[in-house]
Amino acid sequence: MKFICCNTYDALSEQAAEILKGLIREKPNAILGLATGSTPVGTYRALIRANRAGELDFSAVRSFNLDEYFPISQNDAQSYYTFMRQNLFDHVNIRLENTKIPNGEAKSAEAECALYEASLAEAGYPDLQILGIGENGHIGFNEPSDRLSESTHTVDLAESTIAANARFFDSQDDVPRRAITMGMGSILKSKKILLLVSGKKKHGVLNALFDASITTHIPATLLKLHPDVTVLYDLDAKNG
């Protein structure tokens, strides 16, 4: 795990975007693993600016998102599908048919998980996976637990995650209780991983990453098993 300290959230976002731009220029049909949440928004904004300036072409880029609430309709204001449209897809020249997000409208969550993992496997898994991190160390919706599932699966959200995500909903009761998420095994199959850690609330979990131990109770520590992980963190996360 390589750690890089950035002074501010904006600097972190610019640096993450530079890494993505480098990949897309080198491999125009790169497969990106994408995340939602507040952290990658600045990175997506930097990518949008580069695309608008004619410096970055998404026409052959493909993407897979980490997770989606279940059940949820695609057009729900809080679906991750809507989030990705609003924060990236609608503002760059990516083809929507090249973007994949677990389907929150699927009749069977289990069948959707199997289908999603099969499409990941067929595509060969992402060239670069962008990740945020939960205050509890979750990655995607892989919540702290004695056991972690390897591939795409359904999950009951942890109370702390429901509370953390309530800021996006009218009330905490409106936060969906379940989700579909890529498993830690699927995530570890990406060729490269870029983990973004920003803000005072992530201080504790950043320290857990600095520590050498690996535990399913802090799922992000499993990323230490991957040979090519870069952690970009800002001073707020460092100093708490």
State the catalytic residues: 67, 136, 138, 143
Angle among Cα 216, 222, 223 to the nearest 5 degrees reads: 155
Q: Which stretch binds ligand F6R (CB under 6 A): 49-57, 130-138, 211-219, 222-230?
A: 130-138
Cβ–Cβ under 8 Å, residues 239 and 203: yes
User: Which residue's CB is nearer to ligand F6R, number 45 or number 57?
Assistant: 45
CA distances from 149 to 67, 68, 144, 158, 183 (A): 14, 16, 11, 15, 6
SS3 state of residue 62: strand
What's the min distance (Å) between Cβ of 54 and ligand F6R?
29
Binder of ligand F6R out of 132, 137, 144, 219 (CB under 6 A): 132
Please name which of 80, 96, 92 lies closest in space to residue 34, comparing C-alpha atoms.
80
Cβ–Cβ under 8 Å, residues 30 and 23: yes
User: Which residue's CB is nearer to ligand F6R, number 57 or number 85?
Assistant: 85
What's the min distance (Å) between Cβ of 40 and ligand F6R?
7
Q: Where are the alpha helices (DSSP H) in 53-101?
A: 80-87
Q: Which stretch binds ligand F6R (CB under 6 A): 31-39, 50-58, 204-212, 225-233?
A: 31-39
Spell out, one character per residue from 34 to 73, where the chain touches ligand F6R: x when CB under 6 A holds, - when not. Answer: -xxxxx--------------------------xx------
The span from the first CA to the last CA of the chain, in angstroms, equals 21
What's the min distance (Å) between Cβ of 222 and ligand F6R?
13
What's the min distance (Å) between Cβ of 102 and ligand F6R?
10
Query: CA-CA distance, 200 to 179, in Å (whole number)?
Result: 26
Contacting residues toward ligand F6R, per CB under 6 A:
35-39, 66-67, 132-134, 138-140
